[in-house]
Amino acid sequence: MTSHTLDELIADGVLGRHVLVRSDLNVPLDGLTVTDDGRVRASIPVVQKLADAGARVIVMAHLGRPKGEPDPQYSIAPAANRLAELSDLEVSIASDVVGPSAQKLAAEMDDGTVLVLENVRFDARETSKDDAQRAEFASELAALTGENGAYVNDAFGAVHRKHASVFDIASLLPAYQGDLVATEVKVLKTLTGAPKRPYVVVLGGSKVSDKLAVIDNLLNRADQLLIGGGMAFTFLKAQGHEVGGSLLEEDQLETCRGYLSRAKELGCDIVLPTDVVVASKFGADAEHEVRPANDITGGRFGDTGLGLDIGPDSAEKFASYIQSANTVFWNGPMGVFEIPAFAGGTRAVATALAESEVFSVVGGGDSAAAVRTLGFIDADFSHISTGGGASLEYLEGKELPGLTALEARS
């Protein structure tokens, strides 16, 4: 079953109609400044497409994790202002979600203009486990569109959530899949279907437990699984190596041993770091040295040393696997990339992807932030996902509520 597309909606005619668009404006902030506007940029094409066709576009989105009530530090305003700055759109911002401000501004909209509602998570009903509460909130959102409204889901980063603005709303209005969501699904289907081989998966980040299901689902698909970041130390410990003060999930050691054993049976190589950048402490001013991965505690810092990045030999090895691949999926940094001394591994992976002809998919969240922080641009990669957790859940083979809700309307 497939979803109705944005082009179908526009072909049906949107001039003068209110179209409710679920966008992903969940960007990192430093005070009122957006520090990575990748998701805002990715949201613009669909909003622009609808506005150009004469729709009255009402954008709803979340930002951060407010506790179901207004909280100024999570206001959508900085992201909405960035949306206006990066486009030619005429944007107004409601001071509430479905209250008097939203109702008044929605009713006064002209054709081709945009209204951004305040953070939908300022209303506790958005994320409620109670179906009736979510349905009530969804009906109030739908009411903003008047008698001939439509709904477009263009927030792939939220499709794994059974929330009112993602799931329930699709049963109340004619529902369509946004272009961003369509692109994400197409790319991820490539990774879970028949990717061109060799297929290399690069996983990093802090915890093995965050990636258990994706490892489980990709072991029989990938040719090599390169593991860096904090999660590598649990694998190294599972092999019998001491990891000092490095991040370690003791309760996942047996799971990692199981993966190492299964990988051999399935013909997938799990590639772990051969050397590690070990520091005296966590911090930009920390003393550090490169140690063999099988002798992390034998150096200057002994049992207290912290592994904060893969070492140069590992980085070169990972890069060689990437350069010989035809398909690469990367999720999670190789080290603490925010600190220059521990950014080498992440930079090496990004450089290898950027300089090769490989079909490269960079998973959202920290990976996307890392490549931009290190000076790479989106065009250096085949696709940078806006999905984060949603991308991983898709690769795990899970059913995503936001997608199933759109399919149910087709």
State the binding site for ATP.
211, 307, 338, 364-367
Active-site residue (options: 54, 99, 207, 281): 207
Closest-CA residue to 217 (of 331, 325, 319): 331
Q: Tokens in use for 67?
A: 């506790």
Cα dihedral 121, 122, 123, 124 in deg (nearest 10): 70
Question: Does the active-site annotation cover 56?
Answer: no
For the annotated binding site, the residues are 24-26, 39, 62-65, 121, 161, 211, 307, 338, 364-367
Query: In the numeric block, which tokens belong to residue 164?
Result: 């009112």
The arrangement of strands across the sheet holding 288-292 comes to 288-292, 275-279, 306-310
Q: Considering the candidates 365, 387, 388, 402, report the single residue annotated as catalytic.
A: 365
Decide if 205 is catalytic: no
Report DSSP letters for 328-396, one per residue: EEEES-SS-TTSGGG-HHHHHHHHHHHHS-SEEEE-STHHHHHHHHTT--GGGSSEE-S-THHHHHHHT
Q: State yes or no: is 389 an active-site residue.
A: yes
Catalytic (active site) residue 189:
no
Cα 142 from Cα 130, distance rounded (Å): 19
Q: Sheet of 269-271: strands edge to edge? A: 269-271, 224-227, 199-203, 327-331, 359-362, 383-384
**Cα pseudo-dihedral 350, 356, 359, 364, rounded to 10:** 10
Beta strand ranges found along 199-343 (DSSP E): 199-203, 224-227, 269-271, 275-279, 288-292, 306-310, 327-331
Binding residue numbers for substrate? 24-26, 39, 62-65, 121, 161
Catalogue the active-site residues: 39, 207, 365, 389
